[in-house]
DNA sequence: GTAGGGTTAG
């Protein structure tokens, strides 16, 4: 074999050639020396850095084709031949690369290899563990992450503030805030001082589980320990309040922030503007307004006056506002505007646009946007495909959804929990039960951690296909798992039990909700209320309804309409009138089916004299009879 | 490790 050919085949040299080319490109494209260029100067981290964005693409394409099963093992082995001995930084960079690529299994293997320390003398350090722990949390593998945290201490490596903050953040994001608090206490116990970020993570956890009182406690504790809320903290609080529609409180927080001299940054402006995708409220300079485009513009110019440049996230926030309101054409124009002002739309901009098209049912337009995205050189990610896939599932075009799935695989994107859950839901919804069952059995036996969405989809799918017993068994097994059930889980089960005539079981379950730390919502109450009406327990129904309102759960329009229909169906016109009044008070409108029921009812002679029970506003329905 | 933007359930 000739020397030249041999050299071309040498993966290390080839890799070096690729790195060199990239480094030169980067260096000339940027006035500051890029990280990559720095990497080239320090040979040891050079290989590692290049691998970081994509060990899979970079190494696998070069190496796995040649039938080498463990390219990274070889890379590490051959680094000395390139004149650099891998150190803990090389390993850590590789670990980070694997985690970025969602290849946490391999990251763990590598970590174990380091830990085994077969004469290479490179034991993992605290950064190695932090990296992989974070990788597992990001993947939703809470148990694996936590076990690694324990394993680390077993090996005598002391967790630092980053470790603790990572674990606290991971647990909070998995809604396991109580466990996070325990870790927080352990941390203090061990003498590791928390920092602002630690507090922010915990506050985020309490906010996302709606525990406002705990948030207030944390804030007090924080300042008692000499930490003051920073821009991040205020961002969290404002975001929470805006999402809850609590504009007055948000305004107070915003004011106290500026009073303290903390200058709002572009993120704060984004939060204020976004205010729950414009659905609930947006706060503009302490003014609580309905989400109006003009107000958004005002905010935009004000921000510019402050010398704050909008970034792509900010624009995407506006995109999201437009898309959720169905103004997809405006969103499309915003993409053009972004290009003109020099803020390049990113994957999220296009994903949002695709979602907007799907929302208004223009699924083919959505698919076209994906093509445009590809043509401008953006690489769709899992979210992008999931969005399109969901669009197809919603349109009951499962086979098209499958082809999106195939395209995903072809483009090297690993489908995750959301992808599988979406397809599963689509299969159940279109009545392809046996396919759905095959899929979820495979999913469960794969050993991956699925989330509450997945299980709710399975439970609901089973129930809707007359397998309530099977669903109930699964539900019971979930109760003993370390998976936080939510109110939707209970509502699915209660609904199925009621429908199957198992009233007592349903009521027991309803009573058990609070012992799981959950609160029934309008949907849950609606199921129980409808059942009470059906059973003729009308006083009990009234009692339940007022108990609901006392508990702070406001009835929604769908619920009130359903209840009115139920009452009309039962012939309790006076009660129906009373609940129609509530509907009226709240400015909800009658659903078409409610209206037609009222009309057909009053068109019957024997109900004429009942018209007096109708609220004034609806009397005309009585006149609508022929 | 670090707030704001895009995906899944009744």
State the first-to-last Cα distance of chain A, in angstroms, to the nearest integer. Answer: 97
Estimate the share of chain A in helix, then strand, then coil, as percent rounded to the nearest 5.
75, 0, 25
Q: CA(A309)–C1'(B1) in Å?
A: 27
Exposure on the CB side of residue A265, measured as CA atoms within 13 A:
9
> How high does pLDDT run on average in chain A?
81
Measuring from the CA of residue A417 to each C1', which nucleotide is nearest?
Answer: B8
Answer whether any strand B atom is within 7 A of the Cβ of A163.
Answer: no
Instruction: Report the pLDDT value the prediction gives residue A17, as an integer from 0 to 100.
Output: 53
Instruction: Report the pLDDT value the prediction gives residue A601, as an integer from 0 to 100.
Output: 81
Alpha carbon distance A94, A261 (integer Å): 42
Collapse the DSSP code of A284 into the 3-class scheme (helix H, G, I; strand E, B; otherwise coil) and give the result: strand
- Cβ-contact A142, A482 below 8 angstroms: yes
pLDDT band at A104 (very low <50, low <70, confident <90, very high): confident
Q: CA(A363)–C1'(B3) in Å?
A: 33
Q: CA(A92)–C1'(B10) in Å?
A: 44
The pLDDT tens digits for A359-410 are 999 999 999 999 999 999 999 999 999 999 999 999 999 999 999 999 999 9
Alpha carbon distance A503, A171 (integer Å): 36
Alpha carbon distance A373, A366 (integer Å): 11
Instruction: Report the pLDDT value the prediction gives residue A243, as an integer from 0 to 100.
Output: 75
Exposure on the CB side of residue A499, measured as CA atoms within 13 A:
15
Q: Which of A254-258, A397-401, A461-465, A496-500 has the lowest mean pLDDT?
A: A254-258
Residue with tokens 């506002």: A321
Q: Which residue is nearest to nucleotide B3 (CA to C1')?
A: A232
Alpha carbon distance A492, A147 (integer Å): 32
Selected residue with higher pLDDT from A506 and A5: A506
Structure tokens at A175: 């809604």
- Cβ-contact A177, A205 below 8 angstroms: yes
Q: Which of residues 6-45 of A touch strand B (CB under 7 A)?
A: none
Answer whether any strand B atom is within 7 A of the Cβ of A200.
Answer: yes
Give, to the nearest 10 degrees, the angle between helix A573-585 and helix A557-570: 170
Alpha carbon distance A274, A278 (integer Å): 6
**Closest to A170 measured CA to CA, from A144, A196, A207:** A144
Residues of chain A above pLDDT 70, percent = 79
**φ and ψ at residue A329, rounded to 5 degrees:** -65, -40
pLDDT band at A308 (very low <50, low <70, confident <90, very high): confident
**Closest to A97 measured CA to CA, from A118, A76, A119, A68:** A76
Instruction: Report the pLDDT value the prediction gives residue A295, as an integer from 0 to 100.
Output: 58
Instruction: Report the pLDDT value the prediction gives residue A299, as an integer from 0 to 100.
Output: 65
The pLDDT tens digits for A81-91 are 555 566 777 67
């Amino acid at each position: 074999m000739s020397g030249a050919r041999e050299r071309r085949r040498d993966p290390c040299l080839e890799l070096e050639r690729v790195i060199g080319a990239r480094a030169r490109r980067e260096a000339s494209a940027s006035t500051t020396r890029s990280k990559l260029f720095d990497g080239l100067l320090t040979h040891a981290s050079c290989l590692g850095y290049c691998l970081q964005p994509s060990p899979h693409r970079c190494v696998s394409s070069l190496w796995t084709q040649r039938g080498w099963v463990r390219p990274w093992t070889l890379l590490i082995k051959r680094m000395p031949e390139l004149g650099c001995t891998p150190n803990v930084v090389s390993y850590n960079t590789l670990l980070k690369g694997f985690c970025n690529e969602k290849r946490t299994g391999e990251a763990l293997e590598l970590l174990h290899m380091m830990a085994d320390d077969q004469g290479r003398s490179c034991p993992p350090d605290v950064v190695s563990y932090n990296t992989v722990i974070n990788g597992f949390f990001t993947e939703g593998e809470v148990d694996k992450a936590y076990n690694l945290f324990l394993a680390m201490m077993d090996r005598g490596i002391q967790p630092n503030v980053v470790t603790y903050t990572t674990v606290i953040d991971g647990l909070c994001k998995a809604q396991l805030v109580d466990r996070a608090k325990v870790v927080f206490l352990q941390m203090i116990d061990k003498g590791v001082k928390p920092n602002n970020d630690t507090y922010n993570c915990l506050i985020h956890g309490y906010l996302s589980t709606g525990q406002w009182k705990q948030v207030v406690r944390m804030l007090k504790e924080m300042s008692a320990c000499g930490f003051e809320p920073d821009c991040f903290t205020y961002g969290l609080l404002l975001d929470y309040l805006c999402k809850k529609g609590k504009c007055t409180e948000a305004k107070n927080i915003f004011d106290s922030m500026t009073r303290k001299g903390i200058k709002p940054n572009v993120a704060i402006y984004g939060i204020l503007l976004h205010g729950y995708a414009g659905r609930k409220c947006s706060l503009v300079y302490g003014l609580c307004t309905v989400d109006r485009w003009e107000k958004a513009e005002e905010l935009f110019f004000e921000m510019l006056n402050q010398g704050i440049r909008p970034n792509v996230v900010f624009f995407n926030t506006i995109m999201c506002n437009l898309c959720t309101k169905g103004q997809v054409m405006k969103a499309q124009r915003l993409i053009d505007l972004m290009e003109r002002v020099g803020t390049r739309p990113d994957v999220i901009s296009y994903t949002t646009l695709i979602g907007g098209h799907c929302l208004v049912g223009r699924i083919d337009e959505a698919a076209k946007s994906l093509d445009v995205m590809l043509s401008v050189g953006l690489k769709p990610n899992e979210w992008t495909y999931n969005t399109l896939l969901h669009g197809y599932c919603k349109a009951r075009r499962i086979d098209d959804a499958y082809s999106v799935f195939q395209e995903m695989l072809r483009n090297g994107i690993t489908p995750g929990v959301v992808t599988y859950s979406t397809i599963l839901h689509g299969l159940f919804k279109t009545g392809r039960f046996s396919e759905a069952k095959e899929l979820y059995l495979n999913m469960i036996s794969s050993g991956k951690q699925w989330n509450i969405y997945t299980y709710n989809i399975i439970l609901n799918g089973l129930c809707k296909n007359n397998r309530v017993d099977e669903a109930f068994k699964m539900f019971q097994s979930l109760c003993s798992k370390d998976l936080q059930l939510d109110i939707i889980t209970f509502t699915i089960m209660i609904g199925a039990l009621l429908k199957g005539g198992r009233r007592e079981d349903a009521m027991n379950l309803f009573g058990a909700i609070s012992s799981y730390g959950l609160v029934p919502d309008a949907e849950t109450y609606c199921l129980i209320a409808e059942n009470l009406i059906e059973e003729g327990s009308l006083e009990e129904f009234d009692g339940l309804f007022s108990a609901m309102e006392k508990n702070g759960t406001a009835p929604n329009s769908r619920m009130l309409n359903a209840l009115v229909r139920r009452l009309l169906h039962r012939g309790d016109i006076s009660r129906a009138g009373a609940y129609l009044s509530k509907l009226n008070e709240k400015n909800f409108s009658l659903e078409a089916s409610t209206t037609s029921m009222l009309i057909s009812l009053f068109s019957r002679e024997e109900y004429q004299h009942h018209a007096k029970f109708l609220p004034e506003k609806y009397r005309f329905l009585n006149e609508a009879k022929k």
